[in-house]
Amino acid sequence: MARLFGTDGVRGLANRDITADLALQLSVAAAHVLGEQSRSGGRRLKAVVGRDGRASGEFLSAAVCAGLASAGVDVFDAGVLPTPAIAFLTAEIGADFGVMLSASHNAMPDNGIKFFASGGHKLDDAVEDAIEARLAEEWERPIGSDVGRIRPLKDGHDRYVAHLMSVIPHRLEGLKIVIDAAHGAAARVSPQAFRTAGADVVVIGAEPDGLNINDGYGSTHLGMLQAAVVEHGADLGIAHDGDADRCLAVDHTGAPVDGDQIMSILAIAMRERGVLKQNTLVATVMSNLGMFQALEREGITVRKTAVGDRYVLEDMKAGGYSLGGEQSGHVIVLDHGTTGDGTLTGLLVASRVAQTGRTLKQLAAVMNRLPQSLINVKGVDKNGVEGNAALQGAVQDAERELGTTGRVLLRKSGTEPLVRVMVEAESQDQAYAIAQRLADVVKTELSL
* 125 known member of a binding site: no
Which residue is catalytic, options 104, 322, 328, 351?
104
**CA distance linking residue 67 with residue 62, whole number of Å:** 9
**CB contact at 8 A, 45 and 16:** no
3-state secondary structure of 294: helix
**CB contact at 8 A, 256 and 230:** no
* 351 known member of a binding site: no
Q: Which residues contact 27 (CB under 8 A, 6 or more apart)?
A: 63, 64, 65, 66, 67, 68, 71, 99
* 21 known member of a binding site: no
**CB contact at 8 A, 217 and 224:** yes
Give the chain's end-to-end CA distance (angstroms, integer): 18
Q: Which residues contact 140 (CB under 8 A, 6 or more apart)?
A: none
**CA distance linking residue 110 with residue 65, whole number of Å:** 20
**CA distance linking residue 141 with residue 72, whole number of Å:** 8
Specify whether 287 is catalytic.
Answer: no
* 241 known member of a binding site: yes
CA-CA-CA-CA dihedral for 137, 143, 145, 148, to nearest 10 = 30
* No. of helices (H) and no. of strands (E), the chain: 14, 19
Q: Give the active site residues.
A: 104
Binding-site residues for Mg(2+) sit at: 104, 241, 243, 245
Binding-site residues sit at: 104, 241, 243, 245
